[in-house]
């Protein structure tokens, strides 16, 4: 059972924006979660704080079955505190005024305003120790401006996905180290679950109802939310899944460091993208398609006009000349599509904005057809597609509803397949993402493999011999294919240099790439000679 230390707890309290003056030093409150829920016989394999001192997590294992469980240990309100909480919630809702200006941090705003209101009412609400007020304010913040019951899960950087399959069912998460885990959280009745989900959907600026039970939305913080509301289509009750967004997105350097890409592979994509090649990422659910696409996009020339088209906003580019288009669901009833703006419409309209590069987050339907039309007219294109391998992707692309003519398939120049696989490293078996292979589409059903993952050595084997794309790029530039391969070598060196110098955040990486685009020879010479390099920051800190 995890016990909080006094020092840690006070440090946690200091991090809160709320300041409460302790009247009596001996009374200094040290709220502690009291974990009564770890059943006997289970082994604690990991524990860490999520929001000190209010919530912690303990990961336990059943030694008999080997199964892991994620136990959220959160400070709960006692019945007396719950009563005050309910009343204070009503007062807060009535008294907190809408901010006059746009607020950047709603939690901070709420904490400050709530503190003022609590000070005003704390006497009339009856005496409670300071510790109780901390807990009440924590719960009020969690439920009013946070994500409610799952707020603590949203704070856990190890969680990739959170999913609830219905009422009275454990919430499940995907944990970076332990993979799929059952949690001790569940929604006990339809009303609580439905209210939570309605609130989440409202936070995303959308609407959900029995008439419109399916919603895909983007929560504050860019977390992707998918909802099936009430028992309209989900007999177990409302279901939802959240794909958590990383505040610090994986850059291409991160993906090389964790072995998903090789540096040579990234350098190859860099040269190809500069020459307007089109790239598609394939993979199963949560294989890392969008992450790979986003990381590769930073290799596109900085001044290029990029249009991204998605159902929910997930992509995060460093380019200045970037337009993000998001599709919209219909608000009509009875099968009418009134008000709908589909991916198809967006891809079509984007052509009028003269993009150098069109990025479609995920192709599924007719929009693929328009994307290939765009490729045919000389635009660059990138996309992801849910498919296990190139053959099944091509089969789907050429059948309904995409119906792309086989003669158009080679317009997609490069296709990479990414997979989540298990590897034993340092005696520990864990899930990793690896690019399984990279193929150039030379003609319909004629593929040239440029990279292949070797599972025994865990390396990406390269073969440019049969590459037609590099030959075409060389011809267009009036140089030899060897010269292009040498350029790939130089860029590989730049990427390796970034790794050595620990330049990894997507903004820093984008700045180096911009510098290389601007002065390739000078830059390469400088890093070869070990001279200090200060790139001009094209990506400003916001
Ligand atoms: N190379 C990687 N290494 C480690 N984690 C990764 C990697 N790529 C992605 N992830 C993590 O895996 C999760 C899923 O990633 P992502 O959204 O890119 O997958 P996807 O294939 O696009 O999924 P979907 O099919 O649901 O759209 C995210 O939490 C992401 O941070
Ligand atoms: Mg995706």
Regarding the beta carbon of 160 and ligand 1, being less than 6 Å apart is answered yes
Regarding the beta carbon of 282 and ligand 1, being less than 6 Å apart is answered no
Structure confidence at residue 44 (pLDDT): 92
Helix (H, G, I), strand (E, B) or coil at 385: strand
Residue 261 reports pLDDT greater than 90: yes
Residue 447 reports pLDDT greater than 70: yes
User: Whose CA is closest to atom 11 on ligand 1?
Assistant: 288
Regarding the beta carbon of 243 and ligand 1, being less than 6 Å apart is answered yes
Closest alpha carbon to 453 in 493, 420, 486, 489: 420
What's the gap in Å between 362 CA and the centre of ligand 2?
Answer: 7
Regarding the beta carbon of 289 and ligand 1, being less than 6 Å apart is answered yes
Q: d(Cα 420, Cα 260) in Å, to the nearest integer?
A: 10
Regarding the beta carbon of 31 and ligand 1, being less than 6 Å apart is answered no
Structure confidence at residue 397 (pLDDT): 95
Q: d(Cα 142, Cα 209) in Å, to the nearest integer?
A: 24
The closest ligand to the CA of 361 turns out to be: 2
What's the gap in Å between 471 CA and the centre of ligand 2?
Answer: 32
pLDDT, mean over the chain: 88
Q: d(Cα 506, Cα 300) in Å, to the nearest integer?
A: 13
Q: d(Cα 16, Cα 38) in Å, to the nearest integer?
A: 28
Give the containing element (helix H, strand E) for 351. Answer: none
Residue 15 reports pLDDT greater than 60: no
Structure confidence at residue 346 (pLDDT): 87
Residue 522 reports pLDDT greater than 70: yes
Residue 122 reports pLDDT greater than 90: no
Give the pLDDT confidence of 37-86 residue by residue, as tens digits.
577 788 999 999 999 889 999 999 999 999 999 999 999 999 999 999 99
Strand order through the sheet with 279-283: 322-326, 306-310, 357-360, 380-386, 279-283, 414-425, 428-443, 446-454, 459-462
Torsion of the alpha carbons at 364, 367, 370 and 376, rounded to the nearest 10 = -30
Q: Distance from first CA to last CA of the chain, Å, rounded?
A: 42
Residue 216 to residues 200, 297, 435, Cα–Cα distance (Å): 11, 24, 28
185: tokens are: 């959280």
> What is the per-residue DSSP string for 511-531?
HHHHHHHH-HHHHHHHHHHT-
| DSSP type of residue 479 | S
Domain ranges of the chain: 158-247, 252-327+353-529
Structure confidence at residue 131 (pLDDT): 87
Average pLDDT on 373-384 reads: 92
Structure confidence at residue 93 (pLDDT): 82
Structure confidence at residue 333 (pLDDT): 63
Structure confidence at residue 532 (pLDDT): 77
Structure confidence at residue 335 (pLDDT): 62
Residue 10 reports pLDDT greater than 60: no
The closest ligand to the CA of 285 turns out to be: 1
Average pLDDT on 166-190 reads: 95
Structure confidence at residue 446 (pLDDT): 95
Helix, strand, coil percent values for the chain (each to nearest 5) = 35, 25, 40
Asked whether 306 and 259 are in contact (CB, 8 A), the reply is no
Structure confidence at residue 26 (pLDDT): 40
Give the other-Cβ count within 10 Å of 216's Cβ: 16
Structure confidence at residue 535 (pLDDT): 66
Q: How confident is the model at residue 336 (pLDDT cuts 50, 70, 90)?
A: low
User: Whose CA is closest to atom 2 on ligand 1?
Assistant: 433
Regarding the beta carbon of 538 and ligand 1, being less than 6 Å apart is answered no
Q: What is the CATH number of domain 158-247?
A: 3.30.450.380
State the closest ligand 1 atom to the C-alpha of 418, by its place in the atom list counted from 1: 21
Q: d(Cα 173, Cα 161) in Å, to the nearest integer?
A: 5
Structure confidence at residue 542 (pLDDT): 44
Average pLDDT on 200-223 reads: 91
Residue 129 reports pLDDT greater than 70: yes
Average pLDDT on 423-445 reads: 93
User: Whose CA is closest to atom 25 on ligand 1?
Assistant: 285
Q: How confident is the model at residue 100 (pLDDT cuts 50, 70, 90)?
A: confident
Neighbours of ion ligand 2 (CB under 5 A): 289-290
Structure confidence at residue 257 (pLDDT): 97
User: Which residue bears the tokens 């789907």?
Assistant: 396
User: Whose CA is closest to atom 6 on ligand 1?
Assistant: 288
What's the gap in Å between 119 CA and the centre of ligand 2?
Answer: 46
Q: Are strands 380-386 and 357-360 parallel, antiparallel or unpaired?
A: parallel
The closest ligand to the CA of 291 turns out to be: 1
The closest ligand to the CA of 288 turns out to be: 1
What's the gap in Å between 433 CA and the centre of ligand 2?
Answer: 14
Q: d(Cα 461, Cα 21) in Å, to the nearest integer?
A: 63
Q: How confident is the model at residue 126 (pLDDT cuts 50, 70, 90)?
A: confident
3-state secondary structure 5-18: CHHHHHHHHHHCCC
| Percent of the chain whose pLDDT exceeds 90 | 67
What's the gap in Å between 107 CA and the centre of ligand 1?
Answer: 28
Asked whether 72 and 62 are in contact (CB, 8 A), the reply is no
Residue 540 reports pLDDT greater than 60: no
What's the gap in Å between 114 CA and the centre of ligand 2?
Answer: 38
Burial group, residue 38, by CB count within 10 angstroms (0-12, 13-18, 19+)? middle
3-state secondary structure 284-334: CCCCCHHHHHHHHHCCCCCCCCEEEEECCCCCCCCCCCEEEEECECCCCCC
Regarding the beta carbon of 290 and ligand 1, being less than 6 Å apart is answered yes
Structure confidence at residue 18 (pLDDT): 38
Average pLDDT on 417-428 reads: 92
Closest alpha carbon to 220 in 307, 93, 312, 288: 312
Average pLDDT on 298-306 reads: 95
Site to probe by mutation for ligand 1, drawn from 288, 423, 430 as the one with most ligand atoms within 8 Å of Cβ, is: 288
138: tokens are: 């924590």
Q: How confident is the model at residue 478 (pLDDT cuts 50, 70, 90)?
A: very high
Cis preceding linkage at 229, omega within 30: no
Give the containing element (helix H, strand E) for 105. Answer: none
Regarding the beta carbon of 388 and ligand 1, being less than 6 Å apart is answered no
Asked whether 384 and 291 are in contact (CB, 8 A), the reply is no
Residue 521 reports pLDDT greater than 60: yes
Residue 508 reports pLDDT greater than 70: yes
Looking at per-residue pLDDT, the higher value among 388 and 113 belongs to 388
Q: Answer whether CATH 3.40.50.1110 is correct for domain 252-327+353-529.
A: no
Average pLDDT on 8-32 reads: 41
Q: At what angle do helices 263-274 and 468-477 cross, to 10 degrees?
A: 50
Structure confidence at residue 31 (pLDDT): 55
| DSSP type of residue 341 | B
481: tokens are: 């294919």
What's the gap in Å between 290 CA and the centre of ligand 2?
Answer: 4
Site to probe by mutation for ligand 1, drawn from 160, 255, 291 as the one with most ligand atoms within 8 Å of Cβ, is: 291
Q: d(Cα 176, Cα 160) in Å, to the nearest integer?
A: 7
> Can 158-247 and 252-327+353-529 be said to share one CATH topology?
no
What's the gap in Å between 383 CA and the centre of ligand 2?
Answer: 10
Regarding the beta carbon of 258 and ligand 1, being less than 6 Å apart is answered yes
What's the gap in Å between 250 CA and the centre of ligand 1?
Answer: 10
Regarding the beta carbon of 288 and ligand 1, being less than 6 Å apart is answered yes
Asked whether 417 and 390 are in contact (CB, 8 A), the reply is yes
| DSSP type of residue 161 | E
């Amino acid at each position: 059972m995890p016990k909080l230390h006094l020092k840690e707890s006070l440090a946690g309290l200091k991090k809160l924006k709320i300041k409460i003056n302790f009247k009596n030093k001996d009374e200094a409150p040290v709220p502690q979660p009291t974990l009564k829920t770890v059943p006997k016989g289970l082994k604690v394999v990991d524990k860490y704080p999520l929001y000190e001192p209010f919530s912690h997590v303990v990961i336990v294992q059943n030694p008999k079955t080997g199964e892991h469980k994620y136990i959220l240990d959160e400070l709960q309100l006692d019945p007396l505190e719950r009563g005050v909480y309910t009343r204070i919630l009503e007062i807060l809702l009535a008294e907190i005024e809408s901010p006059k200006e746009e607020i950047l941090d709603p939690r901070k705003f709420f904490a400050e305003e709530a503190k003022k209101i609590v000070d005003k009412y704390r006497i009339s609400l009856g005496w409670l120790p300071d510790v109780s007020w901390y807990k009440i304010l924590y719960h009020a913040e969690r439920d009013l401006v946070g994500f409610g019951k799952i707020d603590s899960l949203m704070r856990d950087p190890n969680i990739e996905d959170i999913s609830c399959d219905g009422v009275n069912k454990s919430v499940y998460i995907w944990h970076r180290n332990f993979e799929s885990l059952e949690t001790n959280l569940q929604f006990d009745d339809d009303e609580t679950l439905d209210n939570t989900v309605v609130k989440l959907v409202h936070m995303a600026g959308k609407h959900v109802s029995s008439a419109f039970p399916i919603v895909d939305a983007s929560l504050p913080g860019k977390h992707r939310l998918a909802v099936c509301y009430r028992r309209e289509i989900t007999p177990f009750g409302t279901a939802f899944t959240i794909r958590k967004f990383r505040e610090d997105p994986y850059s291409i350097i991160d993906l090389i460091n964790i072995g998903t890409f090789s540096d040579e592979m990234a350098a190859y994509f860099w040269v190809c993208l500069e020459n307007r090649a089109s790239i598609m990422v394939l993979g199963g659910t949560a294989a890392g398609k969008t992450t790979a696409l986003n990381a590769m996009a930073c290799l596109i020339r900085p001044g290029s006009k990029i249009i991204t088209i998605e159902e929910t906003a997930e992509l995060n580019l460093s380019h200045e000349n970037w337009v993000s288009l998001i599709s919209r669901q219909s608000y009509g009833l009875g099968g009418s599509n009134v008000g709908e703006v589909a991916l198809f419409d967006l891809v079509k309209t984007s052509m009028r904005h003269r993009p150098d590069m069109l990025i479609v987050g995920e192709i599924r339907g007719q929009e693929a057809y328009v994307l290939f039309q765009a490729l045919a007219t000389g635009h660059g294109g990138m996309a992801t597609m849910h498919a296990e391998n190139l053959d099944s992707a091509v089969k789907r692309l050429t059948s309904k509803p995409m119906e792309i003519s086989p003669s158009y398939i080679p317009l997609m120049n490069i296709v990479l397949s990414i997979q989540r696989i298990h590897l034993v490293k340092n005696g520990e078996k864990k899930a990793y993402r690896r690019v399984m292979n990279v193929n150039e589409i030379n003609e319909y059903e004629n593929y040239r493999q440029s990279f292949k993952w070797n599972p025994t050595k865990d390396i990406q084997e390269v073969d440019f011999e049969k590459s037609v794309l590099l030959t075409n790029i060389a011809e267009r530039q009036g140089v030899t294919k060897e010269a292009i391969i040498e350029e790939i070598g130089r860029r590989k060196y730049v990427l390796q240099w970034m790794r050595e110098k620990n330049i990894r955040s997507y903004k820093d990486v984008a700045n180096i790439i911009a510098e290389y685009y601007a002065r390739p020879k000078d830059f390469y010479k400088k890093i070869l000679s070990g001279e200090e390099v200060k790139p001009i920051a094209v990506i400003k800190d916001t």
